[in-house]
């Protein structure tokens, strides 16, 4: 049977001492769902795994429900295929600019494509040196003063766009793709 490789990005775990999920526990929970070859990456809720399932929404719901049942708290879960994550990275408009410092690049993954985008609100809150592009279901962010200083946070985009969101930096995003690609070969 052909196994599909997916990347899970969980929203809001292990932040400020809330919704703590140790990565060995996350691995165990995913394995209990018959997801295979589970590898976690850093403590912010990233996992690469194989499955014979194909529907990313179904997989996200399974993981969400398993965490709720086992740990008794809600965690939004986004699932990306290798193709999807590779496409997101390859189409990052900031990567075309050689003057951009990749250390300050971030990807805000959205649960789905927003139906409406109020760019006036974004322009009002963003710092002068920040740039962004919203393409389909991802927000490409460049925050040269640091992500910790931006107002263009997950919560901001969730409230503005009315979708669940989670953000990863360039290094984590590309590392997750590399982990997934290593499984493919």
pLDDT band of 181, cuts 50, 70, 90: very high
Question: What is the domain partition of the chain in residue ranges?
Answer: 4-85, 90-173
CB proximity list for 5: less than 8 A, separation 6 or greater:
48, 49, 50, 81, 82, 180, 183, 184
Can you give the pTM of this predicted structure? 0.94
pLDDT score at 184: 79
Superfamily of 4-85 according to CATH: SP0830-like domains (3.30.70.1280)
pLDDT score at 15: 73
Give backbone dihedrals phi and psi of 164, rounded to 5 degrees, phi first.
Answer: -75, 145
pLDDT band of 77, cuts 50, 70, 90: very high
Q: Over the stretch 144-167, which tens digit does the pLDDT of each residue have?
A: 999 999 999 999 999 999 999 999
Name which residue leads in pLDDT, 60 or 98: 60
pLDDT band of 97, cuts 50, 70, 90: confident
């Amino acid at each position: 049977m052909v196994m599909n490789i997916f990347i899970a990005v969980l929203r809001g775990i292990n932040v400020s001492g809330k919704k703590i999920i140790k990565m060995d526990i996350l691995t165990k929970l995913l394995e209990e769902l018959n997801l295979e070859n589970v590898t976690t990456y850093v403590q912010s809720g990233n996992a690469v795994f194989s499955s014979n399932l194909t529907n990313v929404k179904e997989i996200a719901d399974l993981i969400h429900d398993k965490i709720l049942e086992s740990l008794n708290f809600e965690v939004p879960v986004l699932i990306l295929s290798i193709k999807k994550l590779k496409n997101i990275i390859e189409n990052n408009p900031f990567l075309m600019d050689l003057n951009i410092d990749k250390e300050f690049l971030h990807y805000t993954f959205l649960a789905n494509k927003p139906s409406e985008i109020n760019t006036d609100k974004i322009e009002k809150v963003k710092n002068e040196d920040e740039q962004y592009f919203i393409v389909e279901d991802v927000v490409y962010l460049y925050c040269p003063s640091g992500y910790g200083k931006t107002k263009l946070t997950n919560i901001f985009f969730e409230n503005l766009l009315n979708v669940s969101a989670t953000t990863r930096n360039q290094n984590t995003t590309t590392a997750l793709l590399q982990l997934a690609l290593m499984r493919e070969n």
